[in-house]
Amino acid sequence: MKDLKQNTQARLAKSDLFDKAFDFLAKRNPFEISQGEWINLLLKYSEVQGVKAVIDLAGFYDWCVANEKDGILVTFAHDFNEMGKEWFLPRTNGYAEFFKG
């Protein structure tokens, strides 16, 4: 029973982090598309790649800003254009730890 409770708490924490990451990214549209298109793209990405992938995107954005790096547009374009393809690994994979939430 204790394991079930810990797993549920972990999923809820991840869900909260996803909500924060999604809201964060929703306000930072790097493309020349409408806000509605941007939100739909983020939603599709989360459905295809999963919750962690959206948190990775937010972490990559934060990392770029903190380290004064450009490349957000190119990296996001790669990740969105390749989503769902076999053998695809997002360039933003592993950046979740940099998301400040």
Closest-CA residue to 59 (of 20, 10, 33): 20
Q: Tally the domains of the chain.
A: 1
Q: How far is residue 89 CA from its own chain's centroid? A: 13
pLDDT at 15: 80
Provide the pLDDT for residue 78. 96
**What pLDDT, on a 0 to 100 scale, did the predictor assign at position 13?**
56
Range of the domain at 81: 2-98
Other CB atoms within 10 A of residue 52 CB: 18
Per-residue pLDDT of the chain (101 residues; tens, 9 = 90+): 556 555 545 554 568 999 999 999 999 999 999 999 999 999 999 999 999 999 999 999 999 999 999 999 999 999 999 998 989 999 999 999 999 88
Q: State the Cα–Cα distance between residues 3 and 17, nearest whole angstrom.
A: 21
What is the pLDDT, as a whole number, of residue 9?
53
pTM, entire model: 0.84
